[in-house]
Structure formats: C-alpha cells, structure tokens
Amino acid sequence: MLPPGPHSEILDDMEIVPIELKILVPTPNGTAIFVGNDEKVFVIYVDNAAGTTLADTLAGVDKERPMTHDLIGHIFTGFGVGVERVVINHADNGIFHARLILSMRNEIGTKLVELDARPSDAFILAVRDKKPLFVTREVFEALEDMSEVLRKITEQQKP
C-alpha cells in the first residue's frame, strides 16, 4: 500500500512497490533506464534528450540557463507545490505511463494533484527533489526481470 503521508485518490487502492534508478545506459536510439529493487529490475527506454537530462539531474550538473524541467521546478516552488512521489502505473508493449503526485500545502490543508506523465519527465522532477519512485505491483509482476542483464553491464564497466 501507499507510504505514510498524503495519498492520492486514484492510486489509493493499488499496492505499490518501491523502486530506484539503478543505472542509465546509452543505446543507439536513446537511453536505457534500469529501474527496480532487490527483487527485480526492469528497463524503460527513453530518447537521448530525456536520458541526458536525467543523467545531468542525477549528477547535479548546473546549467547556464534553466532547462524545461528546471523551469517547471521553479514554478512548483513559486506556487508552493511539491513533488510527493512518482508511480509507474501502466506498461504496454514497452510504453510506460506514470503518475506524478504533487502536493500543495496552505492554511486550509494539503491538496494532492495526480498528473499523467512520461516516466522520464516524472523521474527528473522526483530526482531533482529527492522524492521516491514506485511501480504498481500489477505492473511490476508483469515485467521481465532484467537483473542479470544489469549485472553483466555493471561487470563490464568495472576497471
């Protein structure tokens, strides 16, 4: 079930599994994002621009001018909106869908907004704010385990 804290209406009844970004691997057509936990690892393929932006965000690279995700983050900050978490909630033929859960606190209380998002965009915003990533149990169980592929890649990268 969902972690403690504000909950979203749509995902409340879904069991979710915590995941983390394991490694980004450049491919001829973009970037392979290996995501998972100790139980299973799966891959989400994204275009070069999204892969580069995610890698830069993970590395804490400062840009001369704000990129789109930086601008969105500044808008969130200006309006008192925060990223709560990201949940990958659907996968079909290699196309992944995520829910970006945002919160806004004021004197009346906390309002949650749940937005449909590409996982790559949602990951960038979550990483920027050091927020958790999840996948629904249903999606997690349906995906192929790529742990062995990840192990081989990390072994090849060792000096």
| Residues in contact with 25: Cβ distance below 8 Å, sequence separation at least 6, in sequence order | 31, 32, 34, 153
Per residue in 82-91, pLDDT (tens digit) is 999 999 999 9
pLDDT of 11 reads 57
> Can you state the angle between helices 68-78 and 119-128, rounded to 10 degrees?
60
In 3-state terms the chain splits into helix, strand, coil percentages (rounded to 5) of 30, 40, 30
Q: Is residue 73 part of a domain?
A: yes
Q: Are strands 16-27 and 41-46 parallel, antiparallel or unpaired?
A: unpaired
The domain tally of the chain equals 1
Residue 64 pairs with which residues in a beta bridge?
Answer: none
Q: Is residue 90 part of a domain?
A: yes
* Domain extent for 71: 16-157
Per residue in 7-44, pLDDT (tens digit) is 455 556 689 999 999 999 999 999 999 999 999 999 99
Give the domain CATH number at 151.
3.10.690.10
Q: Are strands 133-136 and 81-92 parallel, antiparallel or unpaired?
A: parallel
Cα–Cα dist 149/155, whole Å: 10
Angle at 91 between CA 129 and CA 85, to 5 degrees: 20
Model confidence, pTM: 0.86
Q: Is residue 5 part of a domain?
A: no
Q: Is residue 7 part of a domain?
A: no
| 108's tokens | 């009346």
Mean pLDDT of the residues in the chain: 90
